[in-house]
Structure 1
Amino acid sequence: MQHAAIEKPSILFLVLAALMTSFTAVSIDMLLPTLPHVAQHFDVSAITSQQVITCLVFGIFLGEIIFGPLSDVFGRKPLIISGSISFIIGAVWCANAQSYEELLAARVLQGFGAAGPKIAVRALLRDLYSGVHLARVYSMVFMILMIIPISAPIIGQWITSKIGWEGEFLTVAGFCFVATLLFTLMQKETLSPDKRTTFNIWFLFRTVGLIFAHQKVFLLTLLLGLVFSINLTYLGTAQQIFKNYYGIEHNFPYYFGFLATAIAVAYLASAKLVNKIGGIKLCAIAIGILIISTATTLLTSILNGGTPPFAVFLVCFFGLFFSYGILWANVAVLAIEYLGAAAGLGSTFISAGASLIGFLVTGFTGGLYDANYLHLGLGFLGMSLLALICFLGVIKSRHNHALSYVKMAVTS
């Protein structure tokens, strides 16, 4: 990797990086208030309409395993631009879908395209930063990115009321076009031709096998996937939770935005604390908060006829998303520290692994939505406890070596 002298990133650079990694968040969060309209239009149930989110995540998984290796071959910007084009085509296709199956296919393409900027921008950041400096830059980018979940549902609800659910997809396509244009004009390529690799599928498979044979990397990937699954399960059921459990429909975007601020607070805390106490201690604190939050909501739902009091729900889910933000900002960085020369490729497949786990787990946990919170609460607590088991495995594992010998396999 080529690392420039460590210097404080400019606001413009951080904003550009946030814009180019926001396509997934925009295409999910803006759509949430619209899911009932989509379900009604295509005559599917509320639970079935969660596939609009999970199919996007499946597309992201497919894109990550393709765009990641190719970004080391062709550079960062070509993959960012080609991914953005795929995303725009998918968004326009969604707006013109004639059937529910066609909409899901378009969402897969949209997710596939979103993976290009997501993976390549992260690789771009690794070109420039490493270690705790990389974690701090990630946290700052994520803090800017948090404008999306706070504002997107409100914007999405307004767009739907004016021009229908189709208008949301067209708006997202326009946003992607403008962001990509700005990025292309303002950001230079960070991977010089002499640093690029030659693509070799067999060495790729060998390297991926070596990466996930590392116990800590494997367990941290599982942990990241479980944390992602918690977030996806909430995203897929949030609108129904607020409407059917608490009678909140019109003001749903505002409560959703309030809970999203917990992630922003977490990113800020992570950026301030990671240099002082380290990522492991931060993750330990976050997992503790996660388990307390999910256990409290489940216990109070049992004592309250199946659904936790609204105030308890808000407080506990604020804690849940605070812990999510801490973990999301640090777990992948911790895994990368053990990858050595395979950091670039490894981070791609860690992200792809988390996406695949999220897609598979959410396919089950999303179906736990019921007339009351109990089944969902068990799902959230179960995923939290599994995350704890993975984290304890990381602590106890003796695999402390870096995969420095993989470089020859990648570049041969």
Structure 2
Amino acid sequence: MNHDSNHSKAFIILLAGMMSLVALSVDAMLPALVAIADDFELANPAHAQWTITSLFIGLSVGQLIYGPWSDAVGRKPPIYVGYLLFIVGSIICVLSTSFTWLMVGRVLQGMGAAAPRIITMALVRDKLKGAEMARIMSVVFSVFIIVPILAPAVGQVILSLSHWRWIFGMLLAMAIVTGLGFWRGQEETLAVEKRRPLSLKSFIEGLKFLLAERSALVYTIVSGLVFGAFMGYLNSAPLVFIKLYDQADNFALLFALSAVAVGAASLVNGRLVLKLGMRLMINRALWGLLVLTSVFCLLLLATNGVPPLWWFMAYLIPAFFCVGILFGNLNSLAMEPLGAIAGMGSAFVASISTLVAIPIGSVIGLSFNQSCYPVVIGFWLVAASSLLLIKCFDKTSAEAEQSASA
């Protein structure tokens, strides 16, 4: 019994470490963006955001590959390749002599981190089911929520003690430790008889299936829109808090407050979604975000786009609570009709939503103009367009049902 308990704890710690690699790779870098722009003498400090965007580009490509690949060859080989790519990318980042080489390293980091991020879910599904699976996943996701809260503080501590390159050194060390832990402590979980052959035909058929399922496609796009606004905030946060509000020392704390709101929303959503349903939760969260942002836009007009910091935080915390409600529900609704291609469907949904988010987040980040306007207007546009897209889909679906019954 004690042996099983220890094994379960080790499994949870390993999964949490593997899944946290993406969050650490994104959020630990945020306090360093201003320093990176200065070191590489970037003409526009906002261009430092490409250290975030390039990681998501690699992540979107990797997510599309690893899910179907792991279904065909087992879980371990793709994870080994992912770790190798991440380690190579981290080394390139540490040794980068130009901003271009830093971007190359970040793309490789993203492609590599996609493997443990995507396949850890499959590892749990392979090993467990029912209440035990839910227990393990709840613990893992609790850690996954905590990491983005603490990651900027980790980056800020490293930055205060040494050069920003040591943040990549920390990521390299974490990849080596969790990779070795996976190699030594985790057996293959997908039996040979349960593997599915990987072919271009099956890939194309899976994509056609997703595109034909309008509900899945609509909620995947809406998920990408919301993630795009969130990415725009990630890209802009160092410039807003450090440059605009001169809060370099408090950046990690201010960022953590908004991250806590996302985590709190996940807990509240778990209680309410069974009573209200995912669609109603999404509708209320989008309307809440739209109304809240509309009111705050009036405050922006009254303060020339630079409200007092506490006003801005008073807006961000409930806004991110709405975003936290949206994240899990949108992904679940996107996956709901894709049971026949669950593994590949998960890869498609994750990759397409990220590809939708990347240009939105980039535009918001590059639009920084010494004010809070780009971030706030980005949230308003995303909330409004998401509500419009869902309303059009619901109307079309209702008309289709009426035609079918007639």
Scaled by the length of structure 1, the TM-score of the pair is 0.88
69-78 or 301-310, which moves further after superposition?
A: 301-310
1:392 maps to 2:391: yes
Question: Structure 1 pair 205/108, CA: closer, same or farther in 2 (3 Å)?
Answer: same
Query: Following TM superposition, by how much is the alpha carbon of 1:237 offset from its aligned partner in structure 2, in angstroms?
Result: 0.7
Structure 1 counterpart of 2:64: 65
Equivalent residue of 1:321, what SS? Answer: helix
Correspondence 1:252-267 to 2 at 5 A: 252-267=251-266
274-283 or 58-67, which moves further after superposition?
A: 274-283
1:281 maps to 2:310: no
- The separation in 2 between residues aligned to 1:65 and 1:102, in whole angstroms, is 24
Structure 1 counterpart of 2:226: 227
Question: Structure 1 pair 181/272, CA: closer, same or farther in 2 (3 Å)?
Answer: farther
User: Which whole-Å deviations, capped at 9, do the CAs of 1:160-205 have from their partners, x for residues lacking one?
Assistant: 2222011110101111222233334444433221111111102311
Equivalent residue of 2:64, what SS? Answer: helix
- The separation in 2 between residues aligned to 1:141 and 1:101, in whole angstroms, is 35
Query: Following TM superposition, by how much is the alpha carbon of 1:233 offset from its aligned partner in structure 2, in angstroms?
Result: 0.6
AA aligned opposite 1:30: A
Query: Following TM superposition, by how much is the alpha carbon of 1:152 offset from its aligned partner in structure 2, in angstroms?
Result: 1.3
Structure 2 counterpart of 1:32: 30
Equivalent residue of 1:47, what SS? Answer: helix
Structure 2 counterpart of 1:363: 362
Query: Following TM superposition, by how much is the alpha carbon of 1:99 offset from its aligned partner in structure 2, in angstroms?
Result: 0.9
Q: Is the 8 A contact 2:365 2:374 kept in 1?
A: no
Q: Is the 8 A contact 1:64 1:116 kept in 2?
A: yes
Question: Structure 1 pair 93/380, CA: closer, same or farther in 2 (3 Å)?
Answer: same
Q: 5, 18, 21: which is aligned to 1:20?
A: 18
Equivalent residue of 1:146, what SS? Answer: helix
- The separation in 2 between residues aligned to 1:291 and 1:79, in whole angstroms, is 41
AA aligned opposite 2:32: T
User: Which whole-Å deviations, capped at 9, do the CAs of 1:318-340 have from their partners, x for residues lacking one?
Assistant: 11221222222222122212012
Query: Following TM superposition, by how much is the alpha carbon of 1:96 offset from its aligned partner in structure 2, in angstroms?
Result: 0.3
Correspondence 1:252-331 to 2 at 5 A: 252-331=251-330
Query: Following TM superposition, by how much is the alpha carbon of 1:260 offset from its aligned partner in structure 2, in angstroms?
Result: 0.8
AA aligned opposite 1:298: C
Query: Following TM superposition, by how much is the alpha carbon of 1:251 offset from its aligned partner in structure 2, in angstroms?
Result: 0.9
Correspondence 1:12-411 to 2 at 5 A: 13-44=11-42, 45-127=44-126, 140-396=139-395, 398=397
Query: Following TM superposition, by how much is the alpha carbon of 1:313 offset from its aligned partner in structure 2, in angstroms?
Result: 1.4
- The separation in 1 between residues aligned to 2:99 and 2:366, in whole angstroms, is 19
AA aligned opposite 2:260: T
Q: Is the 8 A contact 1:368 1:379 kept in 2?
A: no
AA aligned opposite 1:236: N
Q: Is the 8 A contact 1:216 1:397 kept in 2?
A: no
Q: Is the 8 A contact 2:24 2:151 kept in 1?
A: yes
* Structure 2, unpaired ranges of 5+: 1-6, 399-406
91-100 or 146-155, which moves further after superposition?
A: 146-155
Query: Following TM superposition, by how much is the alpha carbon of 1:394 offset from its aligned partner in structure 2, in angstroms?
Result: 4.9
- The separation in 2 between residues aligned to 1:137 and 1:220, in whole angstroms, is 27
Q: Is the 8 A contact 2:16 2:140 kept in 1?
A: yes
Q: Indicate the RMSD between aligned Cα atoms, in angstroms.
A: 2.5
Structure 1 counterpart of 2:404: none
Equivalent residue of 2:397, what SS? Answer: coil
User: Which whole-Å deviations, capped at 9, do the CAs of 1:363-389 have from their partners, x for residues lacking one?
Assistant: 222222112222432222111212222
Equivalent residue of 1:308, what SS? Answer: coil
Q: Is the 8 A contact 2:287 2:383 kept in 1?
A: no
Question: Structure 1 pair 275/76, CA: closer, same or farther in 2 (3 Å)?
Answer: farther
Question: Structure 1 pair 89/333, CA: closer, same or farther in 2 (3 Å)?
Answer: same
Query: Following TM superposition, by how much is the alpha carbon of 1:396 offset from its aligned partner in structure 2, in angstroms?
Result: 4.1
- The separation in 1 between residues aligned to 2:349 and 2:129, in whole angstroms, is 17
Scaled by the length of structure 2, the TM-score of the pair is 0.89
* Structure 1, unpaired ranges of 5+: 1-8, 400-412
User: Which whole-Å deviations, capped at 9, do the CAs of 1:198-232 have from their partners, x for residues lacking one?
Assistant: 11102311220221221111111101111111111
Query: Following TM superposition, by how much is the alpha carbon of 1:131 offset from its aligned partner in structure 2, in angstroms?
Result: 10
135-144 or 176-185, which moves further after superposition?
A: 135-144
Question: Structure 1 pair 295/183, CA: closer, same or farther in 2 (3 Å)?
Answer: farther
Equivalent residue of 1:382, what SS? Answer: helix
Q: Is the 8 A contact 1:88 1:177 kept in 2?
A: yes
Equivalent residue of 2:116, what SS? Answer: helix
Percent identity, please: 33
Question: Structure 1 pair 140/213, CA: closer, same or farther in 2 (3 Å)?
Answer: farther
Query: Following TM superposition, by how much is the alpha carbon of 1:256 offset from its aligned partner in structure 2, in angstroms?
Result: 0.7
AA aligned opposite 2:63: E
- The separation in 2 between residues aligned to 1:150 and 1:80, in whole angstroms, is 26
Q: Is the 8 A contact 1:15 1:144 kept in 2?
A: no
Question: Structure 1 pair 216/139, CA: closer, same or farther in 2 (3 Å)?
Answer: farther
Question: Structure 1 pair 345/369, CA: closer, same or farther in 2 (3 Å)?
Answer: same
Query: Following TM superposition, by how much is the alpha carbon of 1:125 offset from its aligned partner in structure 2, in angstroms?
Result: 4.0
16-25 or 120-129, which moves further after superposition?
A: 120-129
Question: Structure 1 pair 192/277, CA: closer, same or farther in 2 (3 Å)?
Answer: farther
- The separation in 2 between residues aligned to 1:131 and 1:320, in whole angstroms, is 34
Q: Is the 8 A contact 1:131 1:333 kept in 2?
A: no
Structure 1 counterpart of 2:4: none
